[in-house]
Amino acid sequence: MKIEHGLERIFFSSRWITAPLYFGLVGSLILIPVKFFQTIWSLWRHFFVLEFDDLFVGILDLIDLVLLANLVLIVMFAGYENFVSRLDVREHADYPKWIGHVTFGDIKLKLMASIVAMSAIHVLADFIRVGEIPNRVLAWSVGLHLAFVISGVLMAVMDRIMEKEEE
């Protein structure tokens, strides 16, 4: 019994092995605004010579970076709170209400929704430059996007089925 209890404590404590990964996401989050402002700077520098399509794609890139930052935040906060330890910041005035209420299923769906949105942005950017992109690349882009959409729908359906089974 003592051995079993000791093994269970080790097993339970092993969740802390993932904590550095979540803190590593903080480092990656710092990189996103750098790229965001590089893109803005480039758009401003070339604004008067940019074609509308290039401006549009540049703005889509900015939106893509914002979605990526939001995705990193969701994974970072919800993953840490769900798998490592509760965040002891609930009294903070800026505490987002969603943090304590995001389940693993919610994380998966938000992750997939973000991937689908980012994929849609890339497909849209490809279609804006359709004359410059080989048909094969365009077909792969659309096919991959459809795979993401179908995967997202299937994940949502599976989560819904599992929720009904738990009731």
Instruction: For residue 47, give Cα distances in angstroms to 36, 40, 41, 55, 132.
Output: 16, 10, 10, 8, 21
Q: What is the pLDDT of residue 98?
A: 67
pTM equals 0.76
Q: What is the pLDDT of residue 100?
A: 63
3-state secondary structure of 32: helix
Q: By residue range, what is the domain housing residue 147?
A: 2-166
Give the whole-angstrom CA distance, residue 64 versus residue 61. 5
Total residue length of the chain: 167
How many folded domains does the chain comprise? 1
Q: What is the pLDDT of residue 87?
A: 76
Contact 107, 82 (CB under 8 A): yes
Site of tokens 């000791």: 6
Q: What's the token pair of residue 82?
A: 């769900």
Q: What is the pLDDT of residue 36?
A: 97
Residue-by-residue pLDDT tens, the chain, 167 positions: 788 888 888 888 888 998 899 999 999 999 999 999 999 999 999 999 998 888 998 999 999 999 999 889 888 888 888 788 887 777 777 777 766 666 777 778 888 888 899 899 989 888 888 888 898 999 999 999 999 999 999 988 888 888 777 76
Q: What is the pLDDT of residue 43?
A: 96
Q: What is the pLDDT of residue 99?
A: 66
Q: What is the pLDDT of residue 53?
A: 86
